[in-house]
Amino acid sequence: MHIPMLKLEQIKIHTLGGLRSNSKSICWTVIAGVFLSVIGCGHSTVVNTQAGGHQIRAIIAGNDSMDSQPDRATFSSEFGTVTVERARVQISSAPWTLIPEAVPVELKISKGRIALTAGNVTIKQTTN
């Protein structure tokens, strides 16, 4: 069995030639990766907290803020605001909705939609 030997010059030429022919696609891939990391494509924050007697899990898309106090928690992003208290919730400036006390609360705020589940209560609201 004979294994052909390659000269170092042949390997360099082949590697550089391949790099030159793919340089545009490599460059665009790097640029796209940097761009997506800067703009935060698909950025969302997962928050676990306790307030008003509820264990709250919130998934908030976009730029967000949270104010959690013993009796209430307020979650905000550019897509809306949700306030959770002991026995009620408010989405943006809508009227308060009653929820069961001391049940886990699941909250999702995303572009165009806010969804909240607290025990047997489910609230879904579309947003601008």
* CATH 2.60.200.70 in the chain, residue ranges: 44-126
Q: Using DSSP bridges, classify how beta strands 113-118 and 105-110 pair: parallel, antiparallel or unpaired.
A: antiparallel
Please write the tens of the pLDDT for every residue from 89-124. 999 999 999 999 999 999 999 999 999 999 999 999
Residue 127 pLDDT grade (very low, low, confident, very high; cuts 50, 70, 90): confident
Give pTM, 2 decimals.
0.68
Give the largest Cα separation in the chain, rounded.
83
The answer to whether 82 and 72 are in contact (CB under 8 A) is no
Considering the domain delimited by 44-126, tell me its CATH architecture. Answer: Sandwich (2.60)
Please write the tens of the pLDDT for every residue from 26-51. 555 556 554 444 444 568 999 999 99
